[in-house]
Amino acid sequence: MATRQRVALAHGCRCVDCGCVWVAGRDQIDHDVPLEQGGSNDDSNLRPRCDDCHKAKTAREAAARAGR
């Protein structure tokens, strides 16, 4: 089974942030702890996120890196 499928199924095929139904091909599998902060590519660090929640998380991380 592919990583994306495993991770999505492990979380009930729902976005971990808003709970909407996660759709393969549209939504993302995201690192909970970014690789640059010591996160890994292990399934335990991967989360299904809808596109909107993924964009919001990425923006928060970018703001934190910029010191805001």
What pLDDT, on the 0 to 100 scale, is given for residue 68?
A: 66
> How many percent of the chain have pLDDT more than 70?
99
The ranges assigned to domains in the chain are: 3-65
Low-confidence ranges of the chain (pLDDT < 50): none
Burial of 34 (C-beta count, 10 Å sphere; 0-12/13-18/19+): middle
What pLDDT, on the 0 to 100 scale, is given for residue 28?
A: 95
Q: Which CATH architecture has domain 3-65?
A: 3-Layer(aba) Sandwich (3.40)
Q: Taking all residues of the chain, what is their mean pLDDT, rounded to a whole number?
A: 95
What pLDDT, on the 0 to 100 scale, is given for residue 67?
A: 84
First vs last C-alpha separation in the chain:
40
